[in-house]
Structure 1
Amino acid sequence: MYVSLLGEIEAQVAGRPLPLGGPHRISLLVLLALRAGSVVPASELIEALWDGAPPRSALANVHGHISALRNAMRVSGHPDAPERVLVTRSPGYLLDPALCQTDLGLFEELREQAWSVRADPAASAGLYAKALACWRGPALLDVGSAFLRRHAEHLEHRRLQTVCDMAEAQLELGLHDTVALELRPLVDANPYDERLRAVLMLALYRGSRQAEALTVYREGRRALIQDLGLEPGPELRQLEAAILTQESVRPATVPSLRTTLTPRQLPPAPPLLVGRSAQLDALHAALDGASPTSLPVLTITGPVGSGKSALALHLAHRLQEAHPDGQLYADLIEDPDRILGRFLGSLGVPPDSIPDPLPDRMALFRTLTADRRLLLLLDDAADESRVRSLLPGGPTCSVVITARRALTALDTTATIRLEPLPDHEAATLFTALTGTTPGPAVVGLCGGLPSAIRAAAALLQSRPHWLPSDLAAWLSDDHRRFNLLTIGDQNLQTSYTRVTSVLCAPARQALAVLARGPATPAHLSRVLSLPRAHAEDLLEYLVEHHLATPRRSGDTWTYVLPALLRLHLTRIAA
């Protein structure tokens, strides 16, 4: 089957038209074709068909439209079973891209080929021309859904960027007048597109029409100021300055943002994930139920060593299919401006076009991601400020965050808190890694932390002459345990230091008190000479950061440290 999206919506089977039915059925096919190869949740199909005001029968109507499309394929003589082309897969449906092709897919493939041969301007310009020939008119012509019109606007923007890409290749071939003639009406129709205007200015300037180039700049500046209250961006201003001083300007001076690159930055997920299936299901359900008009943000929080990153990686790898434009990864120990610089480079922005100020990087990143289906995994967020500047610009992306505490000041779709594994699941993980039952002593000494269990399992495997009882004996030595529970850079001591070093001084003092034993707010107040209310705030702050556990004792609370954290703090004090 072949679906045409770049113009009037059409579908063909073996060269024969496929009857599509009414506007709802057409909208359903359009969304499935736009997302070919990815599961489109039924909730998103309902949103596209009824623009947020569905009838009670919406879900049944969607199922009916799917059946009708399959029947139409069957009647048209599709060589494959319609159920293989239009596949039912929870929580919705997908079109198999191997059995259903689109003019949009061909357009993107030709764009990618043109970009790959950009060192040969003639070949690149020819491929860009073939890509633009895929367009028979405005994208998604006559589709009435407001939800899908936003997709159409994004596609029109891609077309204009491709026109600019081809024009830059033509400028390298000396076709200045041809470029100026073709771009002038497009600039008039899109007065706020600064890249389009810059390429037109460059074509006029390099064609010895300096006065006309400066007129194009002034027209654009007037439109931006009068209509939007904005000055032209720095690239356009720099180009105007270069023309005024008659500098030599090449197309590379004009920002050319290649959005066809597909970053795949996820680290590998650990091979085993034990005892977290309920959390995975909850995160999937939250993502499936997210509003189609807001950015889905999933947060995983929990104590050091509880497996936040492992769970996030398992989830992210499962979500790759639903995010075909790529996956970005960052460890948030790095500064946000440096992370944004790397992200922009990964999305195809040339190094000399990446702006320096953080706000400008944020703006460019959100522009580039506004309509892309990207997944971001942001690992080890200390607070909301480390995250906000890295959030993409549209609801078609998804963000997974691991955090040291719940990010309550951030608008999140869902937050789950990981706890240490119960003894039976910790034992299951150890046995799966070693083939040996650990015994209760080993499980207890690891505190239910998956990272500690993995380290203990690796230690036993590295010493085949040991029994689990030998491992327990070595781990029971407080002076040895932290050194033993280490696998390469998976070091509990380093992780605890990273978390506690950024705490305020009173919180670190409270930790030092708790390292000597459980404490109530009254006890902490006396030891640190603080008002009781201040002591209560400090203890709850530690709970919020997963560094202390509250236990009710009568009418008050007693706070205790996780065993391995207490051991870490005791060693520091020693």
Structure 2
Amino acid sequence: MVYFRMLGSLRVEREGQEIAIGTPQTRTVLALLVWHANDVVPLGRVFDELWGDAPPSSSKVQVQGIISRLRRLLGRERIRTTATGYVLRADSGELDVELVREDLARARELVANGDVALGATRLREALGRWHGPANPELAEPVAGQLAELRMTVLEERVDADLLLGGSADLVGELTAVVAEHPLRERVRAQLMTALAQRGRVPEALEVFHAYRRTMIEELGVEPSARLTALHARILSGEERPTFPLRRKEHRPNQLPPVPSDFVGRAGLLAELAAALTAPERARPPLVVISGTPGVGKTSFAVQLAHRVRERFPDGRLFATVHGDDTTPVLHQFLRALGVPADLVPDGGQECSALLRDLLTGRRVLLVVDNAADASQVRPFVPAEPGCAVLVTSRRALGELEGARLVRLGLLTAGDSVELITRIAGAPPGDALVACCGGLPLALRIAGALLVSRPHWTCDDLAGRLADHRTRLDWLEAGDLDVRACFTACYRRLPAEHQTLFRRMGLLPAAPVPARVAAALLDGGLDHAERVLEDLVSWHLVTVVRRGGTTCYGMHDLLRCFAAEQAEPDQHAVV
């Protein structure tokens, strides 16, 4: 592939290696052909470019020689002769000027649709295509057009950066640009805006007055009405003056794509969709989905969010909470709703208050994934009944006021068969389904293993999973890992809860009463029951009623994991 670079000195590259073009006249003709790529360049225009008003008598022969040399360098098919001149054929991907124009068009589209950060990135990439000073082989009109193109890209990147709150970093850059282009109004306005947004109002006003003096002295005219209006807004103390771009109300859509292999749970999806979109309500609905690690809480929440998305036209926000601090998620939501980065508060309470303010009168769905407790959910609950909040958590958050609590169960045998079939393309046997225990994560991994190892049968995989001691070793495929999923939940438990959990992994599979747990902890029955019920809330232990007795058990895969952690406890358990 040949790459023609005009943004700077003329360069032609083949497979990353620069091609030596030759004489200045050859470079001038090539620059003209590249600038007008895929269009006919009349022979007279070539004469004008090379010799002006006084072409020599051998001008036609000389041009023919230059074209022959270029064809030897680039290939005969690259330059075609027409009745009136020459055409250089090139795809848009071979022309750095066309790539910049595409970058600019795409960035404008992204910014108009609210993806300002991505648009700014695209504009920076466009500016990065310039590799030096202006092209000396180009005629003045062409050089001027390239310079104007670069300034347009720069100005639009600055506009995007101002929307993103980057005014502090822009002051120095814009000051230098203003010095180089003193009559360029848009850059002056951007410098005024950046200074005003940093609280440097007197300096912003002086930028306007200096521009006004320059315009009157050199051109005899006043600044435009738009710049004068910006000056008035800064003078009146408007908090966020902008010029000329005002960001439209942002309607973010941050939902991940719908899982392609989602199965089952149709009744629960319909029930919760109705709860989230009920027509008359005094407060925003709040749904909390919890369940055993690996049961598919996030996939279910995403499926549900897409089902109701049309009822929340003002935006769909999605974020995963990592650790104990929800402030980064609040920052993400505020920026997504259009708050410039430098106006996002530092504190969580201020962020929560601003979020509620922004949601006033709007219909927005907020999805908060992986909340650890109720305190991580409350900052996201708006006051507006038109909004809704969907939460996933490893715990059942019974302490959360007004929440609809949903415990997501394991898949049925039929749904388990369908899930593996969708992934692997063939139905599994009963033994393989049994080894996965209805856990969607394990079932997805089983399907992935069958796809990536086509020489395995379902029975081959079931045989490898049959041994409880090594089952978790096999339930791993890329970033899907049952053991890692369980580990993340286990590490958040208090030390005493970890002790009881891992010691229960050494017991027989049958559920046991609380007095057995008391013996495992070497403590009282009441205390053991409280620890057990906490583990139930974490979905690491299940409850079974036998007559009038409450017994506690474990999912087979959780038991495998607990037993792995329990080696130091074997003597104590015995």
Deviation at 1:315, TM superposition (A): 1.1
User: What is residue 262 of structure 1 aligned with on the other side?
Assistant: 251
Q: Deviations over 1:268-300 (max 9, x none)?
A: 221122221011011112123364331121221
- For 2:201 and 2:311, locate their aligned partners in 1 and report how far apart those are by CA, in whole Å: 39
Q: Does 1:561 align with 2:554?
A: yes
User: What is residue 425 of structure 2 aligned with on the other side?
Assistant: 435
Q: Deviations over 1:294-339 (max 9, x none)?
A: 1121221211111111111111122222222222111112521111
Deviation at 1:475, TM superposition (A): 1.2
- For 2:539 and 2:278, locate their aligned partners in 1 and report how far apart those are by CA, in whole Å: 28
- For 2:462 and 2:393, locate their aligned partners in 1 and report how far apart those are by CA, in whole Å: 31
Q: Does 1:550 align with 2:550?
A: no
Contact 2:506 2:566 (8 Å CA) reproduced: no
Q: Aligned to 1:533, which of 516, 526, 531?
A: 526
Q: Deviations over 1:502-521 (max 9, x none)?
A: 11222112112211124321
- Within 5 Å, which residues of 2 pair with 1:278-297? 278-289=267-278, 291-297=280-286
Q: Does 1:388 align with 2:381?
A: no
User: What is residue 437 of structure 2 aligned with on the other side?
Assistant: 447
* Range moving further from structure 2, 350-359 or 392-401: 392-401
User: What is residue 292 of structure 2 aligned with on the other side?
Assistant: 303
Q: Aligned to 2:349, which of 353, 359, 363?
A: 359
> What is the DSSP-based 3-state SS (H/G/I as helix, E as strand, rest coil) of the residue aligned with 1:275?
coil
Partner amino acid, structure 1, of 2:517? L
Unaligned runs of 5+ in 2: 1-110, 120-151, 160-184, 207-233, 568-574
Q: How many residues were matched structurally?
A: 359
Q: Does 1:509 align with 2:499?
A: yes
- For 1:170 and 1:408, locate their aligned partners in 2 and report how far apart those are by CA, in whole Å: 56
User: In structure 2, do the counterparts of structure 1 residues 554 and 293 end up closer, same or farther at CA, with 3 Å as the change threshold?
Assistant: closer
- For 2:537 and 2:494, locate their aligned partners in 1 and report how far apart those are by CA, in whole Å: 14
Q: Does 1:573 align with 2:562?
A: no
> What is the DSSP-based 3-state SS (H/G/I as helix, E as strand, rest coil) of the residue aligned with 1:559?
strand
- For 1:341 and 1:493, locate their aligned partners in 2 and report how far apart those are by CA, in whole Å: 32
- For 1:359 and 1:572, locate their aligned partners in 2 and report how far apart those are by CA, in whole Å: 39
Deviation at 1:445, TM superposition (A): 0.6
- For 2:450 and 2:186, locate their aligned partners in 1 and report how far apart those are by CA, in whole Å: 65
> What is the DSSP-based 3-state SS (H/G/I as helix, E as strand, rest coil) of the residue aligned with 1:547?
coil
Q: Deviations over 1:134-170 (max 9, x none)?
A: xxxxxxxxxxxxxxxxxxxxxxxxxxxxxxxxxxx99
User: What is residue 412 of structure 2 aligned with on the other side?
Assistant: 422
Contact 1:381 1:387 (8 Å CA) reproduced: yes
Q: Aligned to 2:389, which of 390, 395, 399?
A: 399
Give the structure with higher Rg (CA).
2
User: What is residue 475 of structure 1 aligned with on the other side?
Assistant: 465
Contact 1:525 1:531 (8 Å CA) reproduced: yes
User: In structure 2, do the counterparts of structure 1 residues 288 and 352 end up closer, same or farther at CA, with 3 Å as the change threshold?
Assistant: closer
Contact 1:455 1:486 (8 Å CA) reproduced: yes
Deviation at 1:119, TM superposition (A): 9.3
Contact 1:286 1:413 (8 Å CA) reproduced: no
Deviation at 1:406, TM superposition (A): 2.3
Partner amino acid, structure 2, of 1:267? P
- For 1:111 and 1:460, locate their aligned partners in 2 and report how far apart those are by CA, in whole Å: 45
Partner amino acid, structure 1, of 2:273? H
> What is the DSSP-based 3-state SS (H/G/I as helix, E as strand, rest coil) of the residue aligned with 1:379?
strand
Contact 2:321 2:369 (8 Å CA) reproduced: yes
* Range moving further from structure 2, 335-344 or 251-260: 251-260
- For 2:205 and 2:241, locate their aligned partners in 1 and report how far apart those are by CA, in whole Å: 17
Q: Deviations over 1:370-410 (max 9, x none)?
A: 22222111111221111111223422222111122222222
* Range moving further from structure 2, 481-490 or 461-470: 481-490
Partner amino acid, structure 1, of 2:435? L
Contact 2:370 2:394 (8 Å CA) reproduced: yes
- For 1:264 and 1:289, locate their aligned partners in 2 and report how far apart those are by CA, in whole Å: 21
Contact 2:505 2:562 (8 Å CA) reproduced: yes
User: In structure 2, do the counterparts of structure 1 residues 255 and 569 end up closer, same or farther at CA, with 3 Å as the change threshold?
Assistant: farther
> What is the DSSP-based 3-state SS (H/G/I as helix, E as strand, rest coil) of the residue aligned with 2:317?
strand
User: In structure 2, do the counterparts of structure 1 residues 468 and 344 end up closer, same or farther at CA, with 3 Å as the change threshold?
Assistant: same
User: In structure 2, do the counterparts of structure 1 residues 486 and 269 end up closer, same or farther at CA, with 3 Å as the change threshold?
Assistant: farther
User: What is residue 325 of structure 1 aligned with on the other side?
Assistant: 314
- Within 5 Å, which residues of 2 pair with 1:29-40? none
User: In structure 2, do the counterparts of structure 1 residues 172 and 371 end up closer, same or farther at CA, with 3 Å as the change threshold?
Assistant: farther
Q: Aligned to 1:375, which of 365, 368, 391?
A: 365
Give the RMSD, CA atoms, in angstroms. 3.8
- For 1:494 and 1:262, locate their aligned partners in 2 and report how far apart those are by CA, in whole Å: 36
> What is the DSSP-based 3-state SS (H/G/I as helix, E as strand, rest coil) of the residue aligned with 2:287?
strand
User: In structure 2, do the counterparts of structure 1 residues 348 and 282 end up closer, same or farther at CA, with 3 Å as the change threshold?
Assistant: same
Contact 1:336 1:390 (8 Å CA) reproduced: no
Unaligned runs of 5+ in 1: 1-109, 125-168, 177-197, 208-247
- For 2:186 and 2:422, locate their aligned partners in 1 and report how far apart those are by CA, in whole Å: 61
- For 1:456 and 1:251, locate their aligned partners in 2 and report how far apart those are by CA, in whole Å: 63
Deviation at 1:456, TM superposition (A): 0.2
User: What is residue 305 of structure 2 aligned with on the other side?
Assistant: 316
User: What is residue 496 of structure 1 aligned with on the other side?
Assistant: 486
Partner amino acid, structure 1, of 2:314? D
User: What is residue 275 of structure 1 aligned with on the other side?
Assistant: 264
Q: TM-score, normalised by structure 1?
A: 0.56
Deviation at 1:446, TM superposition (A): 0.3
User: What is residue 88 of structure 1 aligned with on the other side?
Assistant: none
User: In structure 2, do the counterparts of structure 1 residues 554 and 295 end up closer, same or farther at CA, with 3 Å as the change threshold?
Assistant: closer
Contact 1:299 1:412 (8 Å CA) reproduced: no
User: What is residue 157 of structure 1 aligned with on the other side?
Assistant: none
* Range moving further from structure 2, 389-398 or 492-501: 389-398
- For 1:328 and 1:524, locate their aligned partners in 2 and report how far apart those are by CA, in whole Å: 42
- For 2:241 and 2:391, locate their aligned partners in 1 and report how far apart those are by CA, in whole Å: 31
Q: TM-score, normalised by structure 2?
A: 0.56
Contact 1:452 1:485 (8 Å CA) reproduced: yes
User: What is residue 94 of structure 2 aligned with on the other side?
Assistant: none
> What is the DSSP-based 3-state SS (H/G/I as helix, E as strand, rest coil) of the residue aligned with 2:536?
helix
Q: Aligned to 1:486, which of 476, 486, 496?
A: 476
> What is the DSSP-based 3-state SS (H/G/I as helix, E as strand, rest coil) of the residue aligned with 2:338?
coil
> What is the DSSP-based 3-state SS (H/G/I as helix, E as strand, rest coil) of the residue aligned with 1:546?
coil
Q: Deviations over 1:198-231 (max 9, x none)?
A: 9xx979x959xxxxxxxxxxxxxxxxxxxxxxxx
User: In structure 2, do the counterparts of structure 1 residues 262 and 285 end up closer, same or farther at CA, with 3 Å as the change threshold?
Assistant: closer
Partner amino acid, structure 2, of 1:263? P
Contact 1:283 1:414 (8 Å CA) reproduced: no
User: What is residue 26 of structure 1 aligned with on the other side?
Assistant: none
Contact 1:376 1:398 (8 Å CA) reproduced: yes
